[in-house]
């Protein structure tokens, strides 16, 4: 079942992430995909995440597909002008990549090369609209035709906790109006705050038009906890969770973080408007099956390798 079909079926959808290597190592993608295969409906392949040089998302997506995991190719506005962005969208569809996640991208000042020049010719809303126009109307921003047109599923991201909080549902509405069909959120640790966000999203009729996948992931060390609390903007870790992780022996923090993630998924399954979860377990893909199994998310039979390029190009 493809991600499009999973969303359309109404089942609880699960996506995860694969971080490409900083080196020429196809095996890194293949190993991560092997751990996720059969447990997730699709896996994001990040696009130079954190403004750090990595194997490209397009190359990683092809490798993930070959390993049997439907990929979600991330594409950021940070490094490309509109010509390159549209070219990459056409290229992705030509290679049989079925899903794209379109986002603005972290500024280079946060990465390893802070002197790199950012592009940001388009923002994420404009890029989503561009992708939808290419797919549904068969034309580029210049007005020239795209024939045959791509047929990908279009995704977006949202951070329910970034200030101003009241603007976040409005921002999501803009992305949906532009063409987003699914949305993956930032990490959800504060369930009451996320519940308020989802209530507003549902009241606006957005949850019926776009599948919202709540971001989850285990905090596996106190160092990671402090990094998330102090260095990642727009994430709120409740004091209760902080005390819980600090209150166990150091050799039990990782296990407690996994248990907290399992409990979060269980509660999100009961949150109105939530259509699934997006599991972010960077470098810990091997733990994703355990997290999902303990959370009661049904495992599918391991599928055959995903390789339906002609169907993808045809939409």
pTM score, two decimals? Answer: 0.92
d(C-alpha 149, C-alpha 127), whole Å:
16
Q: Are strands 42-45 and 274-279 parallel, antiparallel or unpaired?
A: unpaired
Q: Would you say 134 and 188 are in contact if contact means Cβ atoms under 8 Å apart? A: no
Q: Where are the alpha helices (DSSP H) in the chain?
A: 3-9, 26-36, 57-66, 82-94, 124-137, 168-178, 191-203, 222-231, 239-246, 253-268, 288-294, 309-314
Model confidence over 257-281: pLDDT tens digits? 999 999 999 999 999 999 999 999 9
Asked if residue 114 is part of any domain, the answer here is yes
Q: Is residue 265 part of a domain?
A: no
pLDDT tens, residue by residue, 292-302 = 999 999 766 55
For the stretch 54-76, pLDDT in tens is: 999 999 999 999 999 999 999 99
SS3 label, residue 145 = strand
Query: What is the rounded end-to-end Cα distance, in angstroms, of the chain?
Result: 15
| Dihedral pair phi/psi, residue 276, rounded to 5° | 170, -170
How many domains are there within the chain?
1
Please state, for a pLDDT cut of 90, what percent of the chain lies above it: 86
**With contact defined as beta carbons under 8 Å apart, do 281 and 217 qualify?**
yes
Confidence at residue 108, expressed as pLDDT on a 0 to 100 scale: 84
56: in domain: yes
**Residue 237: inside a domain, yes or no?**
no
pLDDT value at position 313?
43
The domain that contains 87 carries what CATH number?
Answer: 3.20.20.220
Is residue 232 domain-resident? no
For 146, the domain range is 3-218+271-314
Q: In terms of C-beta density within 10 A (0-12 exposed, 13-18 middle, 19 or more buried), how is residue 212 classed?
A: buried
pLDDT score recorded for residue 299: 66
Q: Compute CA 148 distance to the chain's CA centroid, rounded to the nearest angstrom.
A: 27
- 3-class DSSP string for 187-237: ECCCHHHHHHHHHHHHHCCCCCCCEEEEEECCCCCHHHHHHHHHHCCCCCC
Would 11 be classed as within a structural domain? Answer: yes
Rg of the chain over Cα atoms, rounded to whole angstroms, equals 19
**Six token digits for residue 95:** 């290679």
Q: Is residue 207 part of a domain?
A: yes
Look at residue 70 and tell me if it is in a domain: yes
pLDDT digits (tens, 9 = 90+) for 104-155: 988 888 888 899 999 999 999 999 999 999 999 999 999 999 999 999 999 9
């Amino acid at each position: 079942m493809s991600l499009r079909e999973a969303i359309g079926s109404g089942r609880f959808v699960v996506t995860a992430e694969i971080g490409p290597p900083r080196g020429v190592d196809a095996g890194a993608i293949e190993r991560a995909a092997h751990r996720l295969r059969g447990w997730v409906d699709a896996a994001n392949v990040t696009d130079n995440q954190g403004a750090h040089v990595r194997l490209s998302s397009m190359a990683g997506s092809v490798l993930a597909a070959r390993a049997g995991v439907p990929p979600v190719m991330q594409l950021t506005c940070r490094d490309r002008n509109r010509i390159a962005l549209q070219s990459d969208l056409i290229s992705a569809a030509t290679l049989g990549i079925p899903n794209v996640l379109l986002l603005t991208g972290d500024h280079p000042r946060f990465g390893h090369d802070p002197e790199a020049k950012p592009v940001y010719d388009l923002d994420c809303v404009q890029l989503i609209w561009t992708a939808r126009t290419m797919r549904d109307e068969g034309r580029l921003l210049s007005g020239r035709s795209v024939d045959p047109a791509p047929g990908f599923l279009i995704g977006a991201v949202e951070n329910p906790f970034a200030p101003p909080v009241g603007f976040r549902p409005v921002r999501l509405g803009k992305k949906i109006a532009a063409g987003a069909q699914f949305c993956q959120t930032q990490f959800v640790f504060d369930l009451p705050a996320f519940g308020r966000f989802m209530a507003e999203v549902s009241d606006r009729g957005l949850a019926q038009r776009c599948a919202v996948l709540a971001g989850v992931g285990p905090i596996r060390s106190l160092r990671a906890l402090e990094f998330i609390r102090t260095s990642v903007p727009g994430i709120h870790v409740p004091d209760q969770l902080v005390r819980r992780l600090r209150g166990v022996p150091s050799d039990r923090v990782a296990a407690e973080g996994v248990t907290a993630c399992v409990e979060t998924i269980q509660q999100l399954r009961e949150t109105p408007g939530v259509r699934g979860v997006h599991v972010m377990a960077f470098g810990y893909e091997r733990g994703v099956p355990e997290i999902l199994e303990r959370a009661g998310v049904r495992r599918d039979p391991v599928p055959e390798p995903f390789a339906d390029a002609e169907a993808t190009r045809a939409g």
